[in-house]
A and B are shown apart, each in its own frame.
Chain A
Amino acid sequence: MTITFTNVLPTPLAATNHSEASIWENNVVFDAQKKGLLNASSGKGKSTFTGIVCGIRSDFSGTVYFDQQAITTLNTDDWTTIRREKIAVVFQDLQLFPDLTVQENLLIKNKLTDFKTETEIKQLVQTLGIEQKWTTPSGLLSMGQQQRVAIIRALCQPFSWLVMDEPFSHLDEENKRLCLDCIVAASNEQQAGFILTSLDDDKRFQYDYELKL
């Protein structure tokens, strides 16, 4: 699935001057299966970008297309299917359920498509070093641990795109590398692309392209 931004400008950013390299008010095509980095400082619209792509925000001018279809024409049923099967997201605020355990937070997503077995999910949890937190409510985890849960949760579904909004902001270098390895492996396995927004130039991976806001 190709994502195309045509002269998109979020309303809250209308008064801001954007550089020529910015994706705002430009024509940008996110080709399928490509892995990109969206690099910008705070307040430039990284979370707004994530919100627009996953259909949470509609306060923008211009047009966003999934393949040939403008996303403004998508209805609730379409968005439900896209969120289940096409676009996986790691939100900046993670959007975990604090009262549910790590296990429940992951299974509540996996239950939608039965994409992974519980053993596969446990393996991922183990790989990212939070296996001892399996039955702990996510509200009791550190931010770094919560980020890893949110990343695993995003991988518990089929996807064409994985959109991640500053997913490593609370992780140390070793855990960033582990997470990125899992993300790249899952994307390759599903022949999917990903977009990772970040505050800085991320040199841990050879991205297909790097965009600015």
Chain B
Amino acid sequence: MLQKTFFKQQDRVQLSIAFIGALLGLTFLITSIHYLIKVNEFGRGNEILGPNTLIIQKKIVASNAFNLSKTDFNQREIETLRANECIAAVEPIISNNFDVSLQTNSPVVPYFRTDVFLQTVNPTFIDIPAQKWTWKKGDAYVPLIMPRDFLVMLNTFMSAKNIPTVSDEIAQSIPFEFTLKNGDDKVKMNVRIIGFTNEISSLLVPESFMKWANQQFGKSDEQKINQLMLAGKENQFGLVETLLKEKHLESKNAQVLVGRLKSMVGTFIWIILCVSILAVFLSGLVLIQYLQLLINKNNYEIKTLIRLGYHPKKLVNTFVSYFFKVFGGIAVMSIVLFNSVKFVLDAAFNKGGVYIDSSFTYLSYLAIVIAYVIFTLASLISAKKHIYNAEKG
């Protein structure tokens, strides 16, 4: 009966407009949060390098050939790069300062030996579990990350010898061996491939191994830093790119391209997200205003019911529960709408060859819960204030 008293005569046009506004705003909000997360996650897990990570080096120009300009980095240059706002981290890539060769070490695999070039990067840049990417003296083998091009070369060699080629998984089970030497000093060590990379063209070993080997077998001349590992901040890849140009630095084109695309799409989604938040805020404001209007319109009914013995709390609950249902309806419908939009967008991405992970993101659902809580709290506070004021009046 209270519902009939308060809500029968209401003008539903404003409510419908606010409802549609909030529904669209909330749908855009969760859709943009979802795809912002997906864009940032794009490519993660496919490569061993973390997201937004580049290997940079100085541009090679003609003067380098005559030793007129340096290709290595000094500490001051590294610190200058680190100080930039758009840079999350910069660390030198350490190379081997000793002679090392890699060879197969199994009677079932044909003998293959080659001199190699080893590098190591700070483990924070590598997307591999820490327990797999570690080495200490006495360990059974040295873990190794191999450039995929190296495996292609290995397969070409095997093919030439009429031996079946090997996949990533089989390659990881083949025993290899390093031969480290400095003059007459020589030692052999077992090696196991734990992963592959398209981004780095040298063999990667753990930092601890590189330190030990450089100490044991390193040559006396000073080691130079020719490459750096650089991580840009999320959605600031445009700034990173500009910085690289200014400093005459270069990176692999593919790495920059993916970073640039992610940055552009991320920024675009951020804009949609901000507009969505604004839309949700404004439509929420209209809904709350509608609630206040409804309370003011029912001022006589509210006062009378209180005079008859209805507790203001009961009247507040009647209004708030009505708006709980309105907000609940908006939240549920926005989830349905979001899932429909997601289905269409994911299908469109797939059709275009962009394979975005189609799983759900908890944050987008959390956004609905947060919006729902804020809406209901605001309506509760507003209803309380106006109804208790009516009681006093």
Contact = CB atoms under 8 A, between A and B. Distances in A.
A97 interface: yes
B349 interface: no
A107 B1 contact: yes
A99 B309 CA distance: 20
Contacts, number: 49
B307 A83 contact: yes
A112 B310 CA distance: 7
B161 interface: no
Interface residues of A, number: 23
A100 B310 contact: no
Contacts of B2: 108
Nearest to A82: B309
A7 B388 CA distance: 29
Contacts of A76: 311-312, 388, 391
Interface in A68-92: 76-77, 80, 83-85, 89, 91
A95 B307 contact: yes
Given A100-B1, A107-B1, A108-B5, A80 B310 contact: yes
Interface in B262-320: 301, 304-312
Nearest to A81: B309
A56 interface: yes
Contact of A108 (B9, B306, B308, B388): B308
A210 interface: no
B1 A77 contact: no
A21 B390 CA distance: 35
B4 interface: yes
B132 interface: no
A95 B5 contact: no
B8 interface: yes
A22 B213 CA distance: 110
For chain B, give the interface size range: 10 to 19
Interface in B374-390: 388
A113 B311 CA distance: 13
A18 to B, nearest CB: 27
Given A104-B4, A108-B1, A108-B5, A95 B304 contact: yes
Residue among B4, B9, B307, B308 with most chain A CB within 10 A:
B308
Contact of B309 (A84, A91, A100, A104): A84
Interface string A170-182: 0000000000000
Interface in B1-28: 1-2, 4-5, 8-9
A99 B3 CA distance: 12
A89 B303 CA distance: 14
Interface in A20-44: none
B308 A109 contact: yes
B307 A54 contact: yes
Contacts of A80: 306, 309-311
Given A108-B5, A111-B1, A97 B304 contact: yes
Contact of B311 (A56, A77, A109): A77
A83 B308 contact: yes
B384 to A, nearest CB: 12
Interface of A: 54, 56, 76-77, 80, 83-85, 89, 91, 95, 97, 99-100, 104, 107-109, 111-113, 153, 157
Given A76-B312, A83-B307, A99-B8, 10 more contacts: A80-B310, A84-B309, A97-B5, A97-B301, A99-B4, A99-B9, A108-B5, A112-B309, A112-B310, A153-B308
28 contacts: A56-B307, A76-B312, A77-B311, A80-B309, A80-B310, A83-B306, A83-B308, A84-B309, A89-B307, A95-B304, A95-B307, A95-B308, A97-B301, A97-B304, A99-B4, A99-B9, A100-B1, A100-B4, A100-B5, A104-B1, A107-B1, A108-B1, A108-B2, A108-B308, A109-B308, A109-B309, A111-B1, A112-B308
